[in-house]
Amino acid sequence: MRLQATELTGAERDLQSDVRSWLDERLPPGSYLPALGMGAPADPDFSRDLGARGWLGMSLPVEYGGHGRTAVDRLIVVEELLARGAPVGYHWVADRQSGPSIAANGTDFQKREILPGIASGELSFSIGMSEPDSGSDLASVRTRAERVADGWVVNGAKIWTTGAHHSTHILSLFRTSEDRHTGLTQFIVPADTPGLTISPIEFIDGTRDFCELAFVDMFISDEWRLGEVGSGWGQNTGELALERGGVDRWMSAMSLLETWATREAVQASASVAADLGSIVARCWAFRGMSLAVARMVDDGQSPVTEAALIKEMATRFEQECVEIVARHFGRTPRPDAEDPAERLLATAVQVAPSWTIRGGTNEILRSVITKGLRTRGGEGR
Amino acid sequence: MNRDTVRADEELVELLEDFFAREVTPDVVEAAERRQALPASLWERACAVQIPWIGIREEDGGVGGTIADVVALMHHAASRATPLPLLEHHLAATLVSRAGLGSVDGLLAVAGLSPREDAPLVVGGSLEGRIADVAGAADAAAVAVLTHDGAGQDVVAVVRRASYDVEPATRIDGTPAPTVVLSGGALTVNRIEDRAAVQRYAELLRCSALAGLIGALDDLTSGYVAQRHQFGKPVGAFQAVQIHTVTLAQAASVSALVVDRAAHAVALGAGDFEVAAASVVVAQHAALAVAAAHQAHGAIGMTREYPLQQLTRRVHVLRQLWGSSAETAELVGRTALAAPSLAELVARHPEEGPIPR
């Protein structure tokens, strides 16, 4: 698989510089606690400010409040946000995948109702895919939507849904018939729908962003069905491509690395500098890969295999970053330390295993990659 | 400004692919190693289509071409384990050309490219001493030595074949790389500007050859696991084997990409950071690729009769040809420490020039 090397154009570098200047003012160091990439906390005010600046829902159509920009433009904005460990949690899922998916598959009503709110940062989405008995085997989901007059009645449970407690909407995958793949349909579920209960599940580091959702005779009007009945699996696969190839898959440890790189120990030791060099060189490489994939999206291609290939290696790299920083830290970092950088490392050590699991485990990704490469039969080498 | 980086000429790439696929079969590689000599007929056929002179200025006896063209040449030559020192020859011809020494006919060898080892000094118009590991030296018309003169200036010295002896030595991939014993004879010397740029260019081309080898490991292994059956199905159908084939696809993909980006930076007259970073990335993935390719092949990959070893042994040679990847990683680390932030360094455009310190 040959990725086409590409660099930013002059206009794109202007955008990069605008984003940097704005963030310098909006998020000066010390005004917030840098987070671990997309696992950042929700800050609705920050998301609204970003939306007002035109940097959310960038690729969404202008007539629905979007900005008609490119995937590369979005990469530029996201890269700057993640580099600073910005509080992106509120808008993250909506901006990355729910918005584009609704723009591609939604009705005019849905686009009018939802997309302007995504672009302004008012709406927050989470992903209702996994179930207690359906993790990697997503096609086995059992939460059922039964047809009734004017809509559907939903019963079942979703689990491991990050951020559902602050979401305004859950983009959910429900079973509408027995056919394994064609019996699945997506719905845009407003989080305040009667019959839906959202409860936090305590995460490994004690945070409560992880949630489970219980659907008990939840009625949802047919106008919230996303796409055709039975087309949920295909739409879901398209959404995963948006979810997998981006800079967020190698930048989780970025704020940790920035702090580490300023420490005296790194400055003084040749072997530590070599570790840092090995990390930075790979960051540069992954950034080139993400950029190449974003160009492919802008050229109308669907780089599903490429995105999976990058995510599988980039998330292992993120974990290695944490391992290297932790090793050089010299003792076990404490979660209640006074130094925020030590607290962040304590969090990273605990949560890093989730990076090769969320958005498709590496084991599933390897199958996706293998099938993708086989189908192409070596084309493009 | 064009968003895409410079690409090699398409017709040239086609010619290179065809030539190396047709002329450099595993049997040709094997025979060259057994004979322990330059395969003269292969060299002549390469000369017939001007391959050794791609990227050398026409006024210096070359056929011209861009950096991307030369990068493509090294990639495709390496991907077939070509038993000719095309990388060394090209760099020697480049040195001769850059030093304003015109051109030298025939195969050239090169020395002095390692930043760690000092080549013998040019003193009083002559060069004496020994230089180890000079691929092609026995059959070359001359060796181009990058070194210093008595005043500490960077110079290129061209030593004709009559002015040196060779003591046989062989690299791990079976390539003859004798020690050159200089006898103080006739020499052509001239100063050369920007030694660092030459070393950066050499490093870029070395990385391109490695990327070519990694791509070939990926191709050979994906073919093998599809055709080899165990437990009643192709071994590539097993998840345990897919770990290796995915590793290879990743290594091939990232290596080719970083080389292309670094080549673009060099073509813009920059590339210090990009070439060093590419070098670190390619070295790491070369090691991963060798391990994955051997593991996926099993026992047959350990035999001389199967061509995997022609590729993996060449990876071992190229990985540390002129220096250690640990030192390059340290250099990248020091660059990163001097940069405003890691993220800015990673996202910088090569046109932004040197890293601010």
Shortest alpha-carbon distance between residue A342 and chain B (Å) = 19
Question: Is B38 at the interface with chain A, CB within 8 A?
Answer: no
Candidates A5, A267, A363; nearest CB to B239: A363
Q: Are strands B108-111 and A225-226 parallel, antiparallel or unpaired?
A: unpaired
Whether the CB of A221 is below 8 Å from some CB of chain B: the reply is no
Q: How many CA atoms lie within 13 A of A42 on its CB side?
A: 23
Q: Which of A6, A7, A252, A366 to mutate to test the interface with B (most CBs of B within 10 A)?
A: A7
Angle (deg, nearest 10), helices B272-297 and B308-319: 150
> CA quadruple B148, B149, B152, B154: dihedral positive or negative?
negative
In this prediction, what percent of chain A has a pLDDT beyond 90? 87
CB contact under 8 A, A373 and B1: no
How high is the mean pLDDT of chain B?
93
Q: Nearest CB to A1: which of B249, B329, B332?
A: B249
Contact (Cβ atoms closer than 8 angstroms) between residue B200 and residue B271: yes
Q: Hey, are the CB atoms on A277 and B336 less than 8 Å from each other?
A: yes
**How much is the average pLDDT of A119-147?**
95
A272 — contact with chain B (CB < 8 Å)? yes
Instruction: With cut-offs at 50, 70 and 90, classify the pLDDT of residue A375.
Output: confident
Model confidence pLDDT, tens digit, residues B15-38: 999 999 999 999 999 999 999 889
Interchain CB distance below 8 Å, B277 and A280: yes
Contact B5 A282 (CB under 8 A): no
B154 interface with A at CB cutoff 8 Å: no
**Chain B contact for A337 (CB, 8 A cutoff):** no
CB contact under 8 A, A277 and B280: yes
Q: Determine the pLDDT at residue B103.
A: 87
Residue whose structure tokens are 């190229």: B318
- Global pTM? 0.95
Over pLDDT 90: what percentage of chain B? Answer: 84
Angle at which helices B325-338 and A270-298 cross, to 10°: 80
Q: What is the mean pLDDT of chain A?
A: 94
Closest CA to A281 of B327, B269, B268: B327
Determine the residue type at A147.
R
Q: Which of B222, B246, B346 sits opposite A366 (nearest CB)?
A: B246
By DSSP bridging, strand B179-183 and strand B164-167 are antiparallel
Supply the pLDDT for residue A378.
43
Position B167 scores a pLDDT of 97
Q: Looking at the predicted structure, is the pLDDT value of residue A339 above 50?
A: yes
The percentage of chain A sitting over the pLDDT mark of 70, rounded to a whole number, equals 98
Q: How far is B144 from chain A (nearest CA, A)?
A: 32
Q: How many Cα atoms occupy the beta-carbon half-sphere of B159 within 13 Å?
A: 34
A21 touches chain B (CB under 8 A): no
The string of DSSP letters for A217-263 reads EEEEEGGGEESSTT-HHHHHHHHHHHHHSSGGGT-TTHHHHHHHTTS
Tens digit of pLDDT for each residue in B48-59? 999 999 999 999
A249–B contact, CB cutoff 8 A: no
A169-175 and A125-128: which strand pairing? parallel
Residue A380 has pLDDT above 50, yes or no: no
User: Is A285–B332 a contact, with Cβ atoms under 8 angstroms apart?
Assistant: no
The length of chain A in residues reads: 381
pLDDT digit string, tens, across residues B110-134: 999 987 777 888 887 888 899 999 9
| Cα separation of the two ends of chain A | 5
Helix (H, G, I), strand (E, B) or coil at A377: coil
Residue with tokens 């925020």: A340
| Residue A47, both tokens | 């998301």
Whether B332 and A281 lie within 8 Å, measured CB to CB: yes
Neighbour-count burial for B38-74, b at 16+ CB within 10 Å, e otherwise: bbeebbeebeeeebbbbbbbeebebbebbbbbbbbbb
Q: How far is A163 from chain B (nearest CA, A)?
A: 27
B278–A281 C-beta distance less than 8 A: yes
Say if the Cβ atoms of B258 and A373 lie within 8 Å. Answer: no
CB A173 within 8 A of CB A129: yes
Tens of pLDDT, residues A166-216: 999 999 999 999 999 999 999 999 999 999 999 999 999 999 999 999 999
Stretch B303-326: mean pLDDT, rounded? 93
**In chain A, which residues have their Cβ closer than 8 Å to the Cβ of B347?**
16, 79, 83, 287
- What pLDDT band is residue B4 in, cutting at 50, 70 and 90? low
Under an 8 A CB cutoff, do A7 and B246 touch?
no
Report d(CA B71, CA B257) in Å as an integer.
Answer: 12
Minimal Cβ distance to A381: which of B1, B215, B226: B215
Q: Which residue bears the tokens 């195969």? A: B107
Among A111-115, A263-267, B5-9, the range with the most confident prediction by mean pLDDT is A111-115
> Residues 46..105 of A with a Cβ closer than 8 Å to B: which?
79-80, 83-84
d(CA A6, CA B258): 10
- In chain B, residues with a C-beta closer than 8 Å to the C-beta of A274 are 326-327, 329-330, 333
A3, A284, A328: best mutation site toward chain B, by most B Cβ within 10 Å? A284
DSSP secondary structure letters along A130-199: -BTTBSS-GGG---EEEEETTEEEEEEEEEEEETGGG-SEEEEEEE-SSSTTTTEEEEEEETT-TTEEEE
CB-closest option in B335, B341, B349 to A8? B349
Kindly give the interhelix angle for A270-298 and A71-83, rounded to the nearest 10 degrees: 150
In 3D, which of A248, A244, A246, A253 has the Cα closest to residue A319? A253
User: What's the first-to-final CA gap in chain B, in angstroms?
Assistant: 27
Question: Does the CB of A281 have a partner CB in chain B at under 8 Å?
Answer: yes
Average pLDDT for residues A262-282, to the nearest whole number? 88
Contact call for residues A210 and A160 (beta carbons, < 8 A):
yes
Check if B328 contacts A (Cβ < 8 Å): yes
A296 touches chain B (CB under 8 A): no
Yes or no, beta carbons of B260 and A373 under 8 Å apart: no
Q: Which of residues 157-216 of B touch A (CB under 8 A)?
A: 215
Phi, psi for residue A233 in degrees, rounded to 5: -65, -50
Dump pLDDT digits (tens) for A21-58.
999 999 999 999 999 999 999 999 999 999 999 999 99
**Tokens found for residue A173:** 């995958």
Q: How far apart are CA A143 and CA A175, in angstroms?
A: 6
- Only one residue has tokens 């250690």, namely B324
User: Confidence band (pLDDT; 50, 70, 90) for A381?
Assistant: very low
Q: Is A371 on the interface with B (CB under 8 A)?
A: no
- pLDDT attached to residue A332: 95
Please enumerate in sequence order all residues whose Cβ is within 8 A of that of B213, keeping only pairs 6 or more positions apart, or say none: B78, B79, B81, B286, B311, B314, B315, B318
How high is the pLDDT of residue B10? 95
- Contact B299/A at CB under 8 A: no
User: Rounded CA gap, A45 and A67, in Å?
Assistant: 20
Tell me, what's the pLDDT at B357? 52
Q: Which residue of B has its CA nearest to A258?
A: B342
Instruction: Please indicate whether, in this complex, the C-beta atoms of A292 and B249 are within 8 angstroms of each other.
Output: no
Classified as helix, coil or strand, B127 is: strand
| Section B326-336 average pLDDT | 92
Residue A4's SS3 state is coil
